[in-house]
Amino acid sequence: MGINSTGLRPGQGSGEGDHRSGAAISAGVVEALSAITLRCVVCSALYPMIEGGQPCPPRYRCDCGGVLDVEMKPQFPEQREPVRDRDEVELLDISGDNAPAAGAAWRQLFDERVAGPPIWSISSDRLLLNYSGVWRYRELILPAPERSIVSRPEGNTGLYPVGIENCGDGRIGHRQIGVYAGLERFFLKHEGENPTGSFKDRGMTVGVTMAQMLGAKAVACASTGNTSASLASYAAQAGMRGIVFLPAGNVAGGKLAQSLAYGATTVQIEGDFDAAMRLVEQVCDELGIYLLNSLNPFRVEGQKAIGFEILQQFDWQAPDWLVLPAGNLGNTSAIGKAFRQAYQLSLISHMPRIAAIQAEGANPFYRSFAQGFARYESVHARTVASAIKIGNPVSYERARRVIEESDGVVEQVSDEEILAAKAVIDRAGIGCEPASAATLAGVRRLVARGIIKRDEQVVGVLTGNLLKDGKTGIPQEASGSVIPPTLDAVRKVLAS
Ligand code: F0G
């Protein structure tokens, strides 16, 4: 498979001369990419996106092997959208005393974009972009030409008040989650309400948009199931070939079904996620396919929108804690970066602390944290939560920075704790897939240890939908109870 079928020249990183895509790239794309630089998270080396007026070949790592981070100065849209007051634009110098005013202008911009009709209309791309919980924040994510954007749209997910004090009379069934966690003011942000049922859609809309901008015809990822489902959907929408590498026997049924149904080339490999990840990096490099794991820094940029949306739902008052499950560490990196940027732009006045929760059997980040990040060793991963069954997370360096700068913590929870927490979330009527329940299990542990205080305001992220995995941690026997259609039989069932 070469340039004709994938759109990108093979051999990136192999040092074989000119690897540029032959596809014509529009002036709008060149302008957008000119504003972006990639910086190595390990050695700080810089890589431009454009050289000699042409896009550079896709790059996912520094020459030193470190992962890359997107650097871009957010441009306030003074030309494209009405700004009420000229002074406001001048106040967008975010240095020194001007910082709070700049924050106010950004807050107003983003709030105006949600003030429109709640039902998006495909007849208007602008409405669609403002409705997307990712592209609403486009100046902070990717300055893509509007024509290139591939969006379902995504985001706008529920933020459920589930604390003992804040759950409200109409949600009394949700209170049991707060009781289980031991928190007065607790919220669950349900990213399983995204178009393909997981938070991955937020990164994928940006990743596939970048693939579109670069003229890629094929995109690929390794996955424990959710990234692949998301990639398959967005690639299909963009008319690209989707190729997904899955650890055979370790992907929940709903996720595998999605990849197949959306028409991706689904390759199951002998080996675990970490082996699939190594393979896909090699495949993309050699065959010129655009890589869409969170190794790709633009995926991380999209997932930042989870953080922005939470802050907006809180009317830009940052919570005390953000807690989430951690596997490949892309999401920890993304949400941490969002809070850092929101703080730098004065959208918020303090950064929430971040708690990343790992499964005990897939805990390299936890082990490293426990040693003050002095050492890092990969593990052979084992856990019932297949989504986070990852032993060698790609975004370790990015996530480590997030934990350090947010005064955060990394916790581990057992499979039993994950399943118990999942049952609590499911029975409350909210539901989630097993990996997501690590959030609640982790919160409960951190409250019990006194690290999270009972009266602190905490947001937990539920990363995937209940329907992704219809087996793990769900009573299977109920589906077998068939009764005759009589009142008596019903009485017996209800009495038992
Ligand atoms: N929760 C769910 C439901 C996931 O699918 C994943 C990752 C995570 C949490 C962990 O997020 O990797 O950013 O630390 N799933 C990836 C996948 C690995 O392939 O779908 P992370």
What are the tens digits of pLDDT across the range 376-395? Answer: 999 999 999 999 999 999 99
Residue 96 pLDDT class (50, 70, 90 cuts): low
Per the DSSP assignment, residues forming a β-bridge with 464 are 198
Query: Rounded to a whole number, what is the largest CA-CA distance in the chain?
Result: 81
Residue nearest to atom 10 of ligand 1 (CA): 327
Q: Report the alpha-carbon distance of residue 225 to residue 194 in Å, rounded.
A: 15
Question: Is residue 188 scored above 60 in pLDDT?
Answer: yes
- Ligand 1 center from residue 276 Cα (angstroms): 14
Q: Out of 205-219, 336-350, 424-438, 467-481, pick the least confident.
A: 467-481
Task: Work out which ligand 1 atom sits closest to the CA atom of 468.
Answer: 3
Regarding pTM above 0.85, the answer is yes
Residues with CB under 6 A from ligand 1: 198, 200, 223-227, 294, 325-332, 387-388, 433, 435-436, 463-464
Please give the distance, rounded to the nearest whole angstrom, from the Cα atom of residue 224 to the centre of ligand 1. Answer: 7
Distance 386 CA to ligand 1 centre (A): 9
Q: Name which of 8-17, 84-93, 190-199 the model is least confident about.
A: 84-93
Specify whether the CB–CB gap between 250 and 223 falls below 8 A: no
Three-state SS string over 8-67 comes to CCCCCCCCCCCCCCCCCCCHHHHHHHHCCEEEECCCCCEEECEECCEECCCCCECCCCCE
For residue 385, how far is its CA from the centre of ligand 1 (angstroms)?
Answer: 10
Question: Per-residue pLDDT for 92 more than 70?
Answer: no
Percent of the chain with pLDDT over 90: 82
Distance 328 CA to ligand 1 centre (A): 7
Please state the atom number of ligand 1 nearest to the C-alpha of residue 255.
20
Give the other-Cβ count within 10 Å of 29's Cβ: 22
**pLDDT computed for residue 85 by the predictor:** 41
Residue 81: is its pLDDT beyond 60? no
Residue pLDDT, tens place only, 60-77: 999 999 999 999 999 998
Rounded to whole angstroms, the Cα distance separating 229 from 462 reads 17
pLDDT band at 116 (very low <50, low <70, confident <90, very high): low
Residue 357 confidence (pLDDT) above 90: yes
Residue 334 CA: nearest ligand 1 atom is 13
Residue range 139-155: average pLDDT?
Answer: 94
pLDDT of 19 above 50: no
More confident residue, 100 or 74: 74
**Ligand 1 center from residue 304 Cα (angstroms):** 14
What interhelical angle do 396-405 and 330-344 show, nearest 10? Answer: 40
Q: Which atom of ligand 1 is nearest to the CA of 293?
A: 19
Question: Which tens digits make up the pLDDT trace of 452-486?
Answer: 999 999 999 999 999 999 999 988 766 667 899 99
User: Nearest residue CA, atom 12 of ligand 1?
Assistant: 328
